[in-house]
Structure 1
Amino acid sequence: MSEAIKHECGIALIRLLKPLSFYQQKYGTALYGLNKLYLLMEKQHNRGQDGAGIATIKLDVTPGNRYISRYRAMGSNAVSEIFEYVQKKFADIQHTPELFENTEWLKEHVSFTGEVLMGHLRYGTHGKNSIENCHPFLRQNNWMSRNLVIAGNFNMTNVDELLEQLFELGQHPKERADTVTVLEKIGHFLDAENQFLFDNFKAEGFSNAEISRLISDNLDVAKILRRSAKTWDGGYTIEGIFGHGDAFVMRDPSGIRPAYYYYDDEIVVVTSERPAIQTAFNVAFDAIKEIKPGHALIIKKNGEISEEQFKEPEEHKSCSFERIYFSRGSDAAIYGERKQLGRLLCPQILEAVNYDFKNTVFSFIPNTAEVAFYGMVDGLHKHIKKYQRDTLLNRADKISDTELEEMLSLEPRVEKIAIKDVKLRTFITQDADRQDMVSHVYDTTYGIINSGQDNLVVIDDSIVRGTTLKQSILRILDRLGPKKIVVVSSAPQIRYPDCYGIDMSRMGEFVAFEAAISLLKESGREHIIWETYEKCQASLEMNKEDVENYIKAIYDPFTDEEIAAKIAQIISPKNVKAEIKVIYQTLDNLHKACPAHLGDWYFSGNYPTPGGNKVVNRAFMNWVEGKNQRAYV
């Protein structure tokens, strides 16, 4: 993607089902779990560049010994920093086999040698990035079964409502953030379940020490999660560990955020992306499952594994942006879907260049649009074969050798035109100088385009703001002298904010919104802006279940093609010589390419939860009122 979109986040959970001595004997190391956790996090590094964290819990530790270890770090090298820190814990003994291979000694004396391991990769949003914002979060208590560690890939849309519920319980949260509300909500019902069990076992005459063990054995994890998530509105995959060793990963009822898992008799593992598990554990594609929407994968301390419903599943609306851009394309299903996105764009592309293969060069914006580009090329070859067959079969007269040779030699001109240069540091503070530096982030391959004669088609994942196209890419492509530049987006027009984990929350940042507003003003329909604003204001007094997405009215008067044409005008740099055209994927074709991942609210405005409609209306009001802030906490 030419304009990187941040998103939250990546998770990894490992539960070792055997004693540490088993892994020492079979794999030659008691650090098997830590090594695998490192692999899982590195293989998902694309999901977090702002920070990371890990936590481990040791099972059956005698009282008086620490059993929870946690370490967090900030920055793009956070994963390496974390595991270097952990490695130092073993530095003094790694050359002393009698200690380094003694799993009982390690567990008693060295931190991070636990059987339950959690990892998290973080992308921060809107400047909120500090070590306190890095997961995992810890809620501590002297009762082992009341300790809670959580991390997740989530955003809640109704944080104010959730905070009010915590106030009513008598709590005093230290900040207004969804991470705090989730931690304290689960923590509250964890405490309640502990107290319920304690009272029951106490009435039966058990001692306090006996009760602690009985609580660990009988804690109803699904019940705690059902009570905790009752009023949550958002997209989430949340992993958690209780201090005594029960673990869970829960997925929102619409399946918005991804969660994959695998288990055998040695290990349970959960991640945000399937290929991480495939690579780290060398398991087949079809051995890995998805946690069902509204369900939690629960791993009890005794090793019992179950997938239990904690909330009624809604219509499945898993995030299509995961398929288009976020998740690595090494997933077999995602790779196929991205290729299909490229293929389905071929009719629009060919119409835009008047089917002129001889004078058109096809390329892509590096690097994540490459797979869609391969699909586009497949589609172009398929079109040519059909054209050749139809022409030769239906031709009445005899074809000459020259014509036949020309017909059979027809193929798309495929080239790598744009090259993403090394990351240039824009250390000059003046805006003009900084913009000039940004314009050199990409370079081009010269000598391929016939100046004034060739069309140039370049495909990108999506077009969000259009600023990189305007300030950099289109300028450098225009230097090559094409008569026409066709910019193709493998995603539909991004029209609405996301509120479930992607850093797209301010209306004014979407070039499609800018185009629609310009068209309204130019066509004398500016009143629609104010009518929409009044509806948004009135909705503040409504129940969230009754609120609609009123911002659809901004786009309704115009066709997709009219908005795309206006976008082409907006992103065209001054003094550009080539004609600029912009083509977007259609919603219908998006759904054809990704039939199992129909979450498309940022394109369609059809939010899967009531809170989404509240957020989009608030985002529009912020834009009208000139407030440069996101519409949710």
Structure 2
Amino acid sequence: MSDDIKHECGLAYIRLLKPFRYYQQKYGSAFYGLNKLYLLMEKQHNRGQDGAGIATVKLHTPPGYPMLHRIRSNAPLPIPELFQTIFREIEEVSRYQPDIQDNPELLKGHVRFMGELLLGHLRYGTQGKNHIELCHPFVRIHAQPELNLAMAGNFNLINTDELFEFVGVQPDELYRRSDLAAMMEVVYYFLRQQVHTKQGESSLSLAHILCQAFSLFDGGYTAAGLIGTGDSFVIRDPYGIRPAYYYADDEIVVAASERAAIRTCFNLEEDMVRELMPGKALLVSSNGNVEEKQILPARQRRACSFERIYFSRGNDEKIYQERKKLGYTLSETVLKAIDYDLKNTIFSFIPNTAEVAFYGLIQGLEDYLNRIKVQRILSWGNQIDPEKLSELISRRVRIEKIAIKDVKLRTFIAADQGRTEMVQHVYDITYGTVRKGVDTLVVIDDSIVRGTTLRESIIKMLDRLQPRRIIIVSSAPQIRYPDCYGIDMSKLGDFVAFRAAVQLLKENQKTYILEEAYSLCKQLQRSNSLHAQNVVKQVYKPFTVEEISAQIARLITPPGTRAEVSVIYQSIENLHLSCPNNLGDWYFTGNYPTPLGNRVVNQAFMNFMEGKNERGY
């Protein structure tokens, strides 16, 4: 992706079902759980680089000893720092008791994070700053095991203010900006309520607690929790917005945000890793009983399509095929844009997440070229000229690695002019690949959010090669509306598609549409019905997708660019065709899955009209 957007936290949950000695004897290490947690987090590090955290719970802890431990980091490399800290503690214990690693149960008593329940989290900050106090997991510590709770999740909640009000908490500014803080307060409220009303009963009704708490949340989430009793859970929202997968056998239960991470860490086949379905929870009791239970009624499935386009790692076999299809379905539109002139067109991609869609695009172009070859040969009948045949067969789609990302380049210059000069060099180009003034250059990106990097860096660098035309292809549709379920796309004015629509309204003397939309938003706000409709759809309604794409091309073209620049976007129809199980498309269509989504987009529009540079929720 050329535009850097923060998104999608990562979750890693492990429940060991056997004693530590079992893993030492079978796998050669009593730290099997910690080692697997490290791998599970590293294999999802693409999902969070602002911070990380780990919580563990020990079973059968003697009275007076803590059973819940937590460590967090917001260092530049948070995962290695966490595990270096943990294993330094193990080394310190081993230094004074050299034989302790031969006695796993004794080791458990001396090492804080040797718990049977492990919860890891990778954070991308969307709601709240990157303060270490906002890194998951959050914990509540208590003398009673039942009232010890650790929670982490991949989510955004829209109704945090209402949740704090429900439990009677007046949070400080830092705490108020944390979605997990609101979720934790509500879950703990019902947990404490059950503990106090069922004194003397042997076990918690975890499903009942989750049903009470999560029925109050508006948003997309996958959340996990550990309780001091040894009970634990992983739960997914009823629309299936955020992803969750798990695997269980007689040794271990593991859950994560990505299927491929579980498969890699435990060497599993695809059908061995199950998707946690919408509204369901994975419940693991203190005695190791594993149950998948419907906590909330499943709603119409609206799993996030951005997971398939960009966020998840592309080594999942289904995601890989879906990304290829996103590129393949663009091939006909691209051919029309270049007037089917493959001879004078070079194809490339913007590193690195667009690479798989690029393969699909090339496959579609090659299929077209092969059809042409067959038709041409058949038209010759028996009059085949070997020289012409050889020339025809040798025709290929022209592929070059044009753009190169200098991942280690950092910008230290503060002055705007100098900084702009540095930013354009984040990407480099391969010289000598383009015939100057002759070739069209087609470059695919997975999505275009703000268009800033295209304007300030990529197009400037590509234009140095002096192509006749530059066509930027997006494997995702136009991003028109803010997200409020876990992606850091919350301000309308940031979206190049929205800016293009506003500019078109100005050029066509239709700015009254903006005023009418703003007036309607204020009217809905006064009647406490801002959630009733998505008013921002009116801003886009006067124009076709092609008209907005043409305006986007003008906005992302830097002054002095010699090549003609155009932009092609994926269609909504082909997005759904390519990713049939992830139909969540609200950032493209404005059709939000939860009731308060419309409130967010309308508030974001009012913020734009009032010149407020702040999020809509």
TM-score bracket for the superposition, by shorter chain length: over 0.9
What is the aligned partner in structure 2 of residue 182 from structure 1? 183
Aligned twin of 1:206: none
Corresponding position of 1:84? 84
Query: What is the CA deviation profile of residues 605-632 of structure 1, one whole-angstrom value per residue up to 9, with x for unaligned ones?
Result: 0000011110000000000000000111
How many correspondences in the alignment?
A: 613
Partner residue, 1:59: 59
1:515 equivalent in alignment to 2:516: no
2:454 to 469, 476, 479: 469
Partner residue in 2 for 1:586: 571
Structure 1 627/238 Cα, relative in aligned 2: closer, same or farther at 3 Å? same
Find the counterpart in structure 2 of residue 32 from structure 1. 32
Task: Give the equivalent residue in structure 2 for 1:535.
Answer: 520
Query: In the TM superposition, what is the alpha-carbon distance from 1:263 to its structure 2 partner?
Result: 0.6
Moved more, 534-543 or 227-236: 534-543
For residues 94-243 of structure 1, the aligned pairs below 5 Å read 94=94, 98-125=99-126, 128-167=129-168, 171-174=169-172, 175-176=175-176, 177-198=178-199, 211=200, 214-215=201-202, 218-243=203-228
Could you say which residue in structure 1 is the equivalent of 2:556?
Answer: 571
Say which SS state the counterpart of residue 297 (structure 1) adopts. Answer: strand
Per the TM alignment, residue 545 of structure 1 is displaced from its structure 2 partner at its CA by 8.7
Alignment of 1:312-331 (within 5 A): 312-331=297-316
Provide the C-alpha distance between the structure 2 equivalents of 1:545 and 1:258, rounded to a whole number of angstroms: 28
Runs (4+) of structure 1 exceeding 4 A deviation are 394-397, 542-546
One-letter amino acid of the counterpart of residue 3, structure 2: E
Matched AA of 1:601? W
Aligned to 1:601: 586
401-410 or 419-428: bigger deviation:
401-410
The reply to whether residue 625 of structure 1 matches residue 610 of structure 2 is yes
| Kept after mapping to 1: 8 A contact 2:531/2:599 | no
Q: What is the Cα deviation at residue 66 of structure 1?
A: 1.8
Q: Does 1:292 align with 2:277?
A: yes
Match for residue 254 of structure 2?
269
Are the equivalent residues in 2 in contact too, given 1:93–1:100 (CA < 8 A)?
Answer: no
Q: 1:274 to 1:544 in 2, by over 3 A?
A: farther
CA shift digits 1:206-234 (9 cap, x unpaired): xxxxx3xx43xx21111000000122110
* Paired amino acid for 1:221: L
8 Å CA contact 2:127–2:156 kept in 1: the answer is no
The aligned counterpart of 1:12 is: 12
AA aligned opposite 2:78 = A
Query: Do residues 553 (structure 1) and 553 (structure 2) align?
Result: no
Measure, in 2, the Cα distance between the counterparts of 1:292 and 1:603.
24
Paired residue secondary structure (1:609):
coil
| Matching residue's letter, 2:50 | D
SS for the counterpart of 2:18 is coil
Amino acid at match of 2:246: Y
Question: What secondary structure, in the 3-state scheme, does the structure 2 residue paired with 1:597 have?
Answer: coil
| Cα 1:624/1:366, change in 2 over 3 Å | same
Report the residue type matching 1:142 in the other structure: A
Describe how 1:323-362 pairs up with structure 2 within 5 A. Answer: 323-362=308-347
Q: CA deviation at 1:395?
A: 5.0
Query: How high is the sequence identity, in percent, across the aligned residues?
Result: 55
On the 8 A contact 2:443/2:471 being kept in 1, the answer is yes
2:47 is matched with 47
Contact 2:245 2:275 survives alignment (8 Å): yes
Kept after mapping to 2: 8 A contact 1:255/1:317:
yes
Residue identity matched to 1:469: L
Is 315-324 or 386-395 further displaced after alignment?
Answer: 386-395
CA separation in 2, counterparts of 1:100 and 1:322? Answer: 41
Equivalent in the alignment of 1:494 = 479
How far the C-alpha of 1:401 sits from its partner, in A, is 3.2
385, 409, 421: which one aligns with 2:394:
409
How much has 1:468 moved relative to structure 2?
0.7
- Secondary structure of residue in 2 paired with 1:602: helix
Q: Judging changes above 3 Å, is the alpha-carbon distance between structure 1 residues 544 and 241 closer, same or farther for their aligned structure 2 residues?
A: farther
Decide whether aligned partners of structure 1 residues 290 and 544 sit closer, same or farther in structure 2, where only a CA change above 3 A counts: farther
Residues 466-519 of structure 1, C-alpha deviations (whole Å, 9 max, x = no match): 111111111111111110111000000000000000000000000000000011
Q: What is the CA distance between 1:544 and its match in structure 2?
A: 5.2
Structure 2: where are the runs of 5+ without partners? none
Unaligned runs of 5+ in 1: 199-210
Query: Which is further off, 92-101 or 385-394?
Result: 92-101
Distance 1:152 1:533 in 2: 35
Change in Cα spacing, 1:158 to 1:38, as seen in structure 2 (3 Å) is same
Give the Å deviation of 1:405.
2.5
Letter in 2 for 1:125: T
Preserved contact between residue 530 and residue 599 of structure 2 (Cα < 8 Å): no
SS, match of residue 439 in structure 1: helix
One-letter identity of the residue aligned with 2:35: N
Equivalent position of 2:467 in the other structure? 482
Residue 616 (1) aligns with residue 617 (2): no
Question: Any idea what SS the aligned residue of 2:99 has?
Answer: helix
**Cα 1:544–1:150 shift into 2, 3 Å:** farther
Give the structure 1 partner of residue 22 of structure 2: 22
1:544/1:610 contact within 8 Å kept: no
Equivalent pair of 2:18/2:251 in contact (CA under 8 Å): yes
Instruction: Say if 2:445 is the partner of 1:460.
Output: yes
8 Å CA contact retained: 1:166, 1:172 = no
Q: 1:101 to 1:578 in 2, by over 3 A?
A: same
Length-normalised TM-score, structure 2: 0.97
Give runs of aligned pairs for residues 250-265 of structure 1, distance below 5 A. 250-265=235-250
Relative to structure 1, the CA distance from residue 308 to residue 422 in structure 2 (aligned partners, 3 Å threshold; closer, same or farther) is: closer
Distance apart, 1:394 and its partner CA = 4.2
Q: Deviation per CA, 1:181-203, whole angstroms, max 9, x where unpaired? A: 100100010011112221xxxxx
